[in-house]
Structure 1
Amino acid sequence: MAFLKSVLEPPSYGWTDEDGNLSRPSNGRIVKEFFSRLNVFKDKKNWLSFLSWFLVLALVPFLGLFIFKYFSITGLIVAFVYSMIIMGTHGTIWHHRYCTHGAYTFSNKFWRFFTQNLTLKIIPEEIYAVSHHVHHALSDQPGDPYNAQGGFMYCFLADVNHQPIARNMDEACYKKCVNLMKHVGVTPNSFKQYQKWGTIANPYRTIAGIILNWGFWFLAFYLLGGMALACAVFGSAGIWAVGVRTFNYEGHGKGQDKRREGIDHNREDMSINQLWPGYVAGEWHNNHHLFPKSARSGFKSHQLDLAWCYIKFLSMIGAVSSYRDSKKQFLLEYCSKEAIIEPSLNYAKVKPALVRAK
């Protein structure tokens, strides 16, 4: 816990005020902090934050071309499905359940690379994964990088203001930080390179990977449907990249206690289950906070979990070698009438199982 409290670079306004409560800066100060930490001319260690928003801006021309030149109802449907469902589900599969929580393991590096690049690469793994460990350790407490009690802008601009890793770690702490991402496949900077760039990821390898990813997908969609399809997909990916930054504010009740009896069973924080993120991305957030290392978070019969469907399918074809599934434990502890309990098993002693895929 002590390490996770110090692994992120604190904003200039700090995590807490003078009384030890959550620091609640004004929107103006949040925006000022945002532009300060995007400034690569002031400090090249800002490169990763700058890159993540540069990629969003780079998608704007594609959106404009789609709207004003290539618009069609078919293209609109494609854009909706790609941004809301495909991009959303992939974010849950890759960034959330794998990069952060290691809820499943791949059989080999090919399937990890395949899953990593299933969609346009927009959010660097480092920005998401390390800070999300902190989010779970300090959920809705000071130090939570996207604490909804800080307000909408506090969460919306968190990837720049609150999520980058600390820049003054000693070598031992840096190694611990790297260890959080050792399974992801990102070749880490040496400690000396970290002191230069302020990140785990190397800028040259990161940018090269994005160029190759975007080039492949642009060519693929262009060959499938010309500029109209390519612009629809790339433009909609930009919409997703902006929209996803609003999720944690909404997913934690906009800073208020919106948990409902019989629906949101986790009472340790303000996370809530929402139908839209649940159905389009498998993000049943309150369930996830109960069992963060589970490869499935849609535990109830009505909770469709497309991310879990993908992981389960990969396990069936041998691409995923193991996964954790906490559904039985959830049903037993919170919905005992729905649980199917074999008499020979004492599920009261069962912890989330690591399932070996056959």
Structure 2
Amino acid sequence: MAFIDSVLREPSYGWKTVEGDLSKPTPGAIFKEFFKRLNIFADRKNWLSFTSWMMIVVLGTCLGFFIFKYFSWSLVLVAFLYSMVVMGSHGTVWYHRYCTHRAYKFRNPVWRFITQNITLKIIPEEIYVISHHVHHAKSDQPGDPYNAQGGFLYCFLADVNHQPIAQNMDENSYGRCVKLMAHTGQVSNTYAQYQKWGTLANPVRTIGGILLNWGFWYFVFFMIGGHALACTIFGAAGFWAVGVRTFNYEGHGKGKDMRQDGTDYNRDDMSINQLWPGIVAGEWHNNHHLYPKSARSGFLPHQLDLAWCYIKLLNMLGGVTEYHDSKKKFLQNYYHPHKEAKTVIDTKKLVAAK
């Protein structure tokens, strides 16, 4: 079996039917799988998924303090900007364009560390990166860990049900996973440790890193605006952590073909360019699927790309030494030919009308 077909832990309901079609589990089957994989008492190898969702519970508590104790409209604005713009753009910059696609290179580990920790740490890199490689290899096909055709819950709970790495890899396959994560700075488990914990990430280093990150940022925000500001921002981060789990369902047309001519040029999958994720986080998703290794996805004047702005700023400051920018290729291969073809068609229609 090919590496890309076996690198993720297959759910109990399988990736596909005997006919080769996407296996579409019922909501009950999805929830059953979800809670089974969160149970650290039944299997300690579930620790990473459990930790990920416990972070959301803690952040949800902070959100509750903000809503019921510290609420003000000025803090609502802060929460909006932090969750939608700061967390959203950071997810694109760090997890998407660097950790997964290596769209740019840092000068040294210091700049990488700053970028990694410039916001609250929410998503373990391992859960995002390995599964996202599979997503691009199998977009909208059986085996895609967040295949929108599986439905909302299929995507929303994918980080537990579909994205964790397989727990029975041989040493060679595990080594390939380690290499996929090496540039992120993660110190991966040895193969013996992987057999014990079922993950690339080490629980002590991972949880310790989260606590240090959260402790630092809570102190910073507390010093600026007390518990009110700290709870607001931590709660906003939790709101983002839940909301981001809906992105691929929406970004692939909710399982339907919602691509538009002249807007979505990639026709190999159902990804679409959406205005809101594009503006607040630089996630012009159809453009990204055309050129996944590009550090910029906002190729047109109206496609604001704040993630690209951050990468370009770091390049100007010397923190990023090189990057891939596919804007010229996009314009040359897709945008301009489409405009020229449309002009020819419109001209023919005008002549025919006369």
TM-score by length of 2: 0.95
Bigger fraction of residues in helix: 2
8 Å CA contact 1:146–1:154 kept in 2: the answer is yes
> What one-letter code is carried by the residue in structure 2 that aligns with 1:143?
G
What CA deviation, in whole Å up to 9, does each residue of 1:137-193 have, x standing for no partner? 000000000000000000000000000000000000100111111100000000000
User: For the residues of structure 2 that align with 1:69 and 1:158, how far apart are their CA atoms?
Assistant: 33
Question: For residues 168 and 338 of structure 1, what CA distance do their matches in structure 2 show?
Answer: 48
Cα offsets for 1:294-322 (capped at 9, x unmatched)? 00000011100000000000000100011
1:182 maps to which residue? Answer: 182
Which SS does the other structure have where 1:321 is aligned?
Answer: strand
Deviation, structure 1 residue 49: 0.5
Match of 1:232 in 2: 232
Aligned to 1:137: 137
2:91 equivalent in structure 1: 91
Q: SS at 1:268's partner residue?
A: coil
Pairwise CA distance, 1:241: 0.3
Superposed counterparts of 1:19-38, under 5 Å: 19-38=19-38
Q: Which amino acid aligns with 1:226?
A: G
Identity %: 69
SS in 2 for 1:336: helix
Cα gap change, 1:11/1:247 in structure 2, threshold over 3 Å: closer, same or farther? same
The one-letter code sitting in structure 1 at the alignment partner of 2:84 is M
Alignment of 1:249-288 (within 5 A): 249-288=249-288
| Conserved 8 A contact 2:262-2:338 | no
TM-score by length of structure 1 reads: 0.94
Letter of the structure 1 residue corresponding to residue 114 of structure 2: F
Distance in 2 of aligned mates of 1:337 and 1:21: 35
The amino acid across from 1:312 in the alignment is K
Give the residue type in structure 2 aligned to 1:264: D
Q: How far 1:2 moved relative to its partner?
A: 1.8
C-alpha contact (below 8 Å) 1:331/1:338 kept by paired residues: no
Which segments of 5 or more consecutive residues in structure 1 lack a partner in the other structure?
340-358
Shift in Å, 1:336: 1.9
CA–CA distance in structure 2, aligned partners of residues 4 and 118 of structure 1: 32
Describe the SS at the equivalent of 1:299. Answer: coil
Deviations 1:104-148 (A, max 9, x none): 000000000000001110100000000000000000000000000
Deviation at 1:208, TM superposition (A): 0.3
Equivalent residue pairs, number: 339
Taking only aligned residues, the RMSD between alpha carbons, in angstroms, comes to: 1.1
Instruction: After superposing the two structures, state which structure 1 stretch, 60-69 or 119-128, moved more.
Output: 60-69
Q: Which residue of 2 aligns with 1:201?
A: 201
CA distance in 2, matches of 1:188, 1:63: 33
Residue 81 of structure 2: aligned partner:
81
- In the TM superposition, residue 338 of structure 1 has moved relative to its aligned partner by 10
- 1:337 Cα deviation from its structure 2 partner: 6.9
CA distance in 2, matches of 1:78, 1:264: 33
Q: Distance in 2 between matches of 1:323 and 1:60?
A: 36
Q: 1:5-58 deviations in whole A, cap 9, x for unaligned?
A: 110000000001121110000001000000000000000000001011000001
d(CA) in 2 for partners of 1:174, 1:227: 43
**Aligned AA (1:159):** D
2:192 equivalent to 1:192 = yes
SS of equivalent to 2:105: strand
- Find the aligned partners of 1:167 and 1:338 in 2 and give their Cα distance: 46
Distance 2:191 2:88 in 1: 34
In structure 1, distance between residues paired with 2:306 and 2:242 = 21
Q: Is the 8 A contact 1:157 1:245 kept in 2?
A: yes
